[in-house]
Amino acid sequence: MTVKVKPVAEVTKKWLEVTPGRAGYYEAGAVGAGSEWEKNASAAVGAFKAAVSAATIGAMFAGGIKKAGAAKFDRKVRDVGVARFGQGVQAAGADFQLGVEPMLSTIASLTLPARAPRGSEANLARVREIAVALNKKRLALRAAGA
C-alpha cells in the first residue's frame, strides 16, 4: 500500500504561511537552552570525530556543495544575508571583542626586528613571527576551551 502525502506545493505553501508566526515558540524553546546545548555538544565529541574521519566524508562534503550549488548561495546572500548583515554585526560586537582581544594582545607583546627594504627576506621573517605567535595563541585558546 502506498502512503498518501500532500503535494509538495501545498506543503510548502502552508510552511511559508504558518512558520513565520512561530517565532514565539522558537524563542520559548531556544532562549535559555544554552547549557543543554553545551552539555550535549560536549558529549558528542566522539561522534563528531568519527563523522569527520569517515572514509566518505570528502565525497559527502563535495556532494553537499554540488547539491546546494552556486545559485542557492547567491540567492541566500541576496535574499537573506544582506538584510541581516548589519543586525548580525551589531549582535556580535561583544563576541568580536572577546575573540580579537587575545590576538591583538599577542601581537602587541611581540618585539619585531626593524623593517628591511621592500622585498627583503627579513620582512618575511617579521610576518612569520607574527603568524607563529598567533597560531600558538589560537591553539592554546582552543585547548583551554576558550
CA distance 86 to 92: 10
% helix / strand / coil in the chain, to the nearest 5?
80, 0, 20
Eight-state DSSP code of residue 19:
G
Q: 27-61: per-residue pLDDT in tens?
A: 999 999 999 999 999 999 999 999 999 999 999 99
Per-residue pLDDT tens over the stretch 77-113: 999 999 999 999 999 999 999 999 999 999 999 999 9
pTM reported for the whole predicted model: 0.70
What DSSP line would sit under 48-81, residue for residue? HHHHHHSTTHHHHHHHHHHHHHHHHHHHHIIIII
Q: Which residue has the cell 590576538?
A: 103
